Amino acid sequence: MSRKKLTVYDYLKSKGNRQLSVMFVHNAEEAAAAEEANIDMICTSHDVPEFGIFNTFDELKRIRAAAPSCFMQSGGPLSGASEYEALKLSHKYMSIGADCMYGGNWSYKWIRALRDENIPINSHVGLIPGKATWIGGFRAIGKTADEAMGVLTHTLELQEAGAIGVELEVVPPKVAAIITKKVDIMTLSMGSGSDCDGQYLFANDVLGYTDGHTPRHARVYRDFKTEYSKLQKERVGAFKEFHDDTINKKFNDPKVTVQINDEEFDKFEELAEKI
């Protein structure tokens, strides 16, 4: 039985009614798995190697096709620095089927301008990777009363600007719970506890193939890194066997070639001798 994809209206109505599962996916295969697993929302990006995201914009089209009933958030590198560029970029993603935009580094001014054009935007509070230099690096935010108030104020200001939700990253769960109650928009937890409106994880963490440091708030459900290592060894082995078969001229095997009958071959040899 097919399910109905969330609209922005449904997304906002989920607040206080049910938790949303949110997964960042890197490719169409992960998107297809999210679709089959009934993940509510997928997030996508492209060409952001500093955050380990190497897929192209075209891959986002394949992701959309692979997960037709998942609410989809998209974003990517923003060239230029203007409301017009942000609006142009947003329409580009919406045109391939994105349901909302990620604007974690965007100003209130830009968010207001895009909301005026009915562009749904999820923003970001707490630990914002793109703004880590302003907070002293990648660290938890909200462990003091003043910092916790700062996260609450930031979320309220984003709500006023027109954002429909925020990724609430590495904020103490008790603080996140109060923020979630104080705002009307969606809060998606990344290491901020189960009292937010949804849980957000990256597929590479869930599947256990993250290169380098795995964030504390990530939860690993499978060990794909080991499986990928095994696959790579098998891949190298297969390529070596092919290389050896090439050198040793093992490609006259009737199983992989076509044959000519003796009579036709004799005729061919006679004709070839005349050239």
Kindly tell me if the per-residue pLDDT of 51 is higher than 80. no
pTM assigned to the model: 0.87
Helical segments of 183-273, H only: 203-206, 224-247, 262-273
Output the pLDDT for position 254.
87
- Which pLDDT tens digit goes with each residue over 99-156? 999 988 889 999 999 999 999 999 999 988 778 788 888 888 889 999 999 999 999 9
Residue 270 annotated among the catalytic residues of the structure: no
Kindly tell me if the per-residue pLDDT of 78 is higher than 80. no
Output the pLDDT for position 256.
87
Of 136, 104, 135, 96, the C-alpha closest to 121 is 104
Output the pLDDT for position 255.
87
Kindly tell me if the per-residue pLDDT of 16 is higher than 70. yes
pLDDT category at 79 given cuts 50, 70, 90 is low
Angle between helices 57-66 and 28-36 (to 10 degrees): 20
Output the pLDDT for position 167.
95
Indicate which residue of 30, 35, 83, 169 is catalytic: 169
CB 42 within 8 A of CB 70: yes
Average pLDDT value for the chain = 91
In sign, the C-alpha dihedral spanning 262, 267, 268, 270 is positive
Query: Which H helix or E strand runs over 169?
Result: strand 165-169
In whole angstroms, give the CA distance from residue 137 to residue 129. Answer: 8
Query: Which H helix or E strand runs over 30?
Result: helix 28-36
Four-point Cα dihedral 252, 256, 258, 262, nearest 10: 40
Query: Which H helix or E strand runs over 42?
Result: strand 41-44
Output the pLDDT for position 32.
97
Per mean pLDDT, which of 82-86, 161-165, 211-215 is the most reliable? 161-165
Kindly tell me if the per-residue pLDDT of 272 is higher than 60. yes
Output the pLDDT for position 31.
96
Per mean pLDDT, which of 76-85, 178-187, 205-214 is the most reliable? 178-187
In whole angstroms, give the CA distance from residue 108 to residue 255. Answer: 66
- Which pLDDT tens digit goes with each residue over 231-271? 999 999 999 999 999 999 999 988 889 999 999 999 999 99
Output the pLDDT for position 49.
72
Which amino acid does the sequence have at 140? A
pLDDT category at 80 given cuts 50, 70, 90 is low
All structural domains of the chain, each given as residue ranges with its CATH number in brackets, are 8-222 (3.20.20.60), 228-273 (no CATH)
Of 86, 90, 108, the C-alpha closest to 98 is 90
Kindly tell me if the per-residue pLDDT of 76 is higher than 80. no
In whole angstroms, give the CA distance from residue 44 to residue 85. Answer: 19
Kindly tell me if the per-residue pLDDT of 196 is higher than 70. yes
- Backbone φ, ψ for residue 189 (5° rounding): -75, 130
